[in-house]
Structure 1
């Protein structure tokens, strides 16, 4: 028996479910092949196919009216769009995660450091690395964008869709959290 995506199995209307099961059977190989070509990952391709099925389920009335060749084109464009969106999301997520602690610490230009940043830079890099990993995701990402990638507050704000002053507040809080986690051991320096 063929395994269908959960989204298809969850369709309440039986005729819609049968329609989507048939559509999936007819285009399964094409869906996975195109998703894999874009994502180069079996797991990501499976996620993309599931997401594409969800998108297609929302368009069942339209899909029923399309001719075979137009329907295939619509399905291909849907899987491509979903795969590209997933690729961009993964790329964005990976872009702002931390690598080695030395990269982060050494990436901070010392001439541009404010006093709080010097306190952080003078500390034990291993303790700092572990403290950074404990920060909330948004603070951690913003610190990397600011101090490692060298982005301005305005550029970071654009990524998150907030105002530059909001970025400044997040960075201030992140530095405060780091100083708390490091036990204020650098206060005298």
Structure 2
């Protein structure tokens, strides 16, 4: 295996994958451990992975390690989103212009987001919280940009639908 490939991959992907895991509820130290373990696995098994798919393979390895970590620890997977910009972007269509997001609305948004299937939740986090481009998301997930756009469109619509249903129940 090419040593430079691993070094370049580490420089490009470490921060993105770590931040994603943290946004999914992983602690900073656990996220770092999971990403380091994923790179160790990459060093061991990368010979069998095509160069075009290395980024998405590594991302999937890290996510799977996180899922296994949660199963072992019996931790409930919640999305930890603390950035007001994310809430504003998601809730903008549903709030009166100029209204300040309250803590209650932020919790409702988080609850709606956590209620989505994992693929949709991941796409929304990668696009709106981590502000990755369609191309970057495609590389991480191993799909083309057009598919990212399509799936993201579906994820946004599902979020809107669930958001409206939850708001109908409460008022």
Give the TM bin, normalised by the shorter chain.
Answer: 0.3 to 0.5
TM-score normalised by the chain length of structure 2: 0.45
Max Rg structure: 1
- TM-score (norm: length of structure 1): 0.41
